[in-house]
Structure 1
């Protein structure tokens, strides 16, 4: 299992072929992601639920599929994913109140189904309502627990590197057979 020895024994053509294959896989994944962004209208068409604040509707590790078409009105009861200024990670919660003005401006309040109070404590200081610009997407479907892989990889970085090493070794060993 001398991985570096295998790399040294490859001729230049084989090495270029491996690098090109890897680049094609990465670029294909990026094109699919960008295509999903265009089709769904959401900057992040797929997100993982990271906490239990939305139980029993969604559990930690559920994979959500989002859309974010600006012409669709936001309604109470709808589950939205939003970003708050000063926080990197988007939040998945339910809209509980909506205020629409005559000019079309909409402000709304959210709350996790499993939380006792609304989300005003999560918004930036002095902000009492969210606006459409804060919304990353709206939940349209989900796959239960599929996102646990992401949570495990983030919670245990050594596990992530071990999985990557095993996958790399598998690719190199598979190539030889």
Structure 2
């Protein structure tokens, strides 16, 4: 029957109390992770205090798969800082360096122009159509630290077809046979 069948049989053999204990433990782990995440967002002032570098655009400083820790303070953003930002029409945040700062005379607000260290041109092509500068509300945070290579787990889970296939198969089995995984019999 294989390892899937053995796994199903072992789950079936569990008593309801064991299943409930495991479910509560899993719930506590997930809840703890969410509390830690929310605490980090409050402490750092960033909606996403941890991001993974997904491209080679910041090499040699940051490699694909590095994890960046972000902080968003009220201080003005300066040229040379590394920021993470979102732009309209793109789901994935971008990690790039601020190369120019522009202060608007009418409001005093500061807009920035960014560029990847490994790119030949600035990021205006990535911004929304007609947008020449990046306003502060697009910026998720400033990079304040990093862990090399740890983000590869995330990249592999989202990009590798075999992992996607396994996750899709698991979801399909769970939705097709929901009672199989939680029956006591």
**Considering only aligned residues, what root-mean-square deviation do their CA atoms show, in Å?**
1.5
Gaps of 5+ in 1: 166-177
- The Cα of 1:143 is off from its aligned counterpart by 0.8
2:102 corresponds to which residue? 99
Structure 1 match to 2:34: 30
What's the TM-score, normalizing by structure 2? 0.83
By how many angstroms is 1:97 displaced? Answer: 0.5
Match of 1:54 among 55, 58, 62: 58
Alignment of 1:1-177 (within 5 A): 2-69=6-73, 71-102=74-105, 103-159=107-163, 161=166
Across the two proteins, how many residue pairs are aligned to each other? 162
Secondary structure in 1 aligned to 2:96? strand
Shift of 1:104: 2.7
Separation (CA, whole Å) in 1 of partners of 2:148 and 2:130: 35
1:49-91: CA deviation from partner (whole Å, max 9, x where unpaired): 000011111111111000012x111000000000000000010
Deviations 1:113-144 (A, max 9, x none): 11111000000001000011010111000111
